[in-house]
Amino acid sequence: MNEGDTLLTVEKTFSQDDVNRYADAAGDHNPIHVDPNFAAGSQFGRRIAHGMMIAASISEMMAQAFGQDWHKSGRMKIRFRAPVFPGETVRASGTVRSVRQIEDATEVAVSVQVTKANDEAAITGDARVRIE
């Protein structure tokens, strides 16, 4: 990996069934995600996907690029920018910002984002992984 390299993107479309299954798995049944009547009265006007479910696409992208090193040492700092609605397609992408030696390993810093089909950023941030 070198500065400026781009990672392979991960593209996903999340259905309401996916959101419901995530709510069950995470134990997060906030009505903004699962109750259409409640969500209709919210600032979003409809149900939204769980942010952490969307953020998992970044982790999937990093795992594709860095394998077990990501699982062992990966970390990310992200900011949620826009909601993702069930049925929308999102794309996780990343660009290597820096590669540096630290002690006996290499640390790779990656600018990451998840964008919606209209190119609106849903999530932005950075991720770091230590390669031994």
Tokens of 72: 């062992």
What are the φ and ψ backbone dihedral angles of 107, each rounded to 5 degrees? -105, 130
- How much of the chain exceeds pLDDT 90, in percent? 98
For residue 127, give both structure tokens.
Answer: 């991720």
Instruction: State residue 103's pLDDT score.
Output: 87
User: Is residue 12 pLDDT above 90, yes or no?
Assistant: yes
Average pLDDT over residues 20-43: 97
Mean pLDDT of the chain, nearest integer: 97
DSSP state of 6: B
Q: How many CB atoms lie within 10 A of CB 100?
A: 10
Give CA–CA dist 116/111, Å, rounded.
17
Domain segments of the chain: what residues?
10-131
pLDDT at 126 over 90: yes
CATH classification for the domain delimited by 10-131, as one of 3.40.50.300, 3.30.460.10, 3.10.129.10, 3.40.50.1860: 3.10.129.10
CA distance 91 to 64: 14
Q: What pLDDT score does 113 carry?
A: 98
Q: What is the pLDDT of residue 130?
A: 96
The number of residues making up the chain comes to: 132
